[in-house]
Amino acid sequence: MIPDIEQVKRLVVEAGRRALARCGTVTREHKADESLVTAVDRETEQFLHAELSALAPDYAFLGEEYGFQGPADAPFWACDPIDGTTNYVFGIPFWCVSVGLLADGVPEMGAIYLPRLDELFWAVRGRGAYCGGVRLQRRDQDSLHVEDTVCMTSNAAKSLGIEALPSRIRAFGSIAAELAYTARGNLCATIGLREGIVDIAAALCICTEAGCVFRCLSGGTVDIPALIQARHTRSHFVYAPPALASHLQSVLLPR
């Protein structure tokens, strides 16, 4: 039996509010890959690891900052304590706490909280996706209009020929927030490349329960067990309702 989503939601919100209280007071550092990290990233991950381990002692934990801990074959929490650290450091509101649960290669639940906007997205497999008490259900479409909006991560935008898209292109700087907004329909689709499983684990459940599909732009659906093993996406992916995902697969090609 999976843990109670209400307890997970409470922990994610508490973690986000703790991080928000420290916003603007932290010193930034650079990791080996030149991405930013702060003490709040580490402290938030440690808090979530401790609390989620108390909630489900037999589960493992994969975090952005400290890696994998626990039995290799157990269900595991995949956590990005602050997805969008650069935004967090520079006072841009699009950053979030993201926690997903995966078991046997299946996304079982996810919670994403944007503290600056006080928005909580969550889902449990088979029970739907929600934000603010409203169930999320995406409307499908088979093409894009000039006023439609698609989010594309920096890595993806630099390596795709986007001239074929008539729509507006955005990048929020937080893949988890982008996917949450795709699930709600603020964005028509999100396209990414080389995103970590900790970044998208919560959104895997939320977007799927909202009616979106997770596909490789080159064709076919993303193999989630292979993604878990690799720890990051290896090729361009799109998360969108089915007909729109098929359309994007047909018009977007890597440079």
What's the CATH number where 219 sits? 3.40.190.80
| Together in a domain, 113 and 167 | no
* Exposure letters 133-163 (e unless 16+ CB within 10 A, then b): eeebebeeeeebeeebbbbbbebbeeebebe
The whole-number pLDDT of residue 37 equals: 82
pLDDT tops 70 at residue 92 = yes
DSSP state of 61: E
**The model's pTM:** 0.94
Note the pLDDT of residue 102.
97
CA separation for the pair 18, 249 (Å, rounded)? 40
Both 16 and 104 in a single domain?
yes
For position 17, what pLDDT does the model report? 98
182 and 207 both lie in a single domain: yes
- The CA distance from 199 to 227, in Å, is 12
Average pLDDT, whole number, for the chain? Answer: 91
Mean pLDDT of 157-176: 83
Interval 86-107 mean pLDDT: 95
Same domain, 155 and 65: no
Q: Which domain holds residue 216?
A: 149-251
What is the tally of structural domains in the chain? Answer: 2
**Can you tell me the mean pLDDT for 164-178?**
89
Q: Is 40 within a domain? A: yes
- Kindly state whether residues 126 and 171 are assigned to the same domain: no
141 in any annotated domain? no
Residues 61 and 182: their CA atoms lie apart, in Å, by: 26
**Coil, helix or strand for 142?**
coil
**Same structural domain, 88 and 48:** yes
Sign of CA dihedral 91, 93, 97, 100: negative
pLDDT band at 254 (very low <50, low <70, confident <90, very high): low
Classify residue 164 by its DSSP letter: G
> What is the per-residue pLDDT for 115?
98
Residues 188, 119 within the same domain? no
Q: Is the pLDDT of residue 161 over 80?
A: no
Q: What is the pLDDT of residue 147?
A: 87
User: In terms of domains, do 159 and 129 share one?
Assistant: no
- Look at residue 215 and tell me if it is in a domain: yes
User: Of 72, 99, 133, at which residue does a domain stop?
Assistant: 133
19 & 127 share domain? yes
Check whether residue 26 and residue 129 sit in a common domain. yes
Asked, for residue 138, whether it belongs to a domain, the answer is: no
Statement: residue 31 has pLDDT above 80: no
Considering the domain architecture, whether residues 100 and 185 belong to the same structural domain is answered as no
pLDDT band at residue 255 using 50, 70 and 90 as cut-offs: low
% of the chain beyond a pLDDT of 70: 96
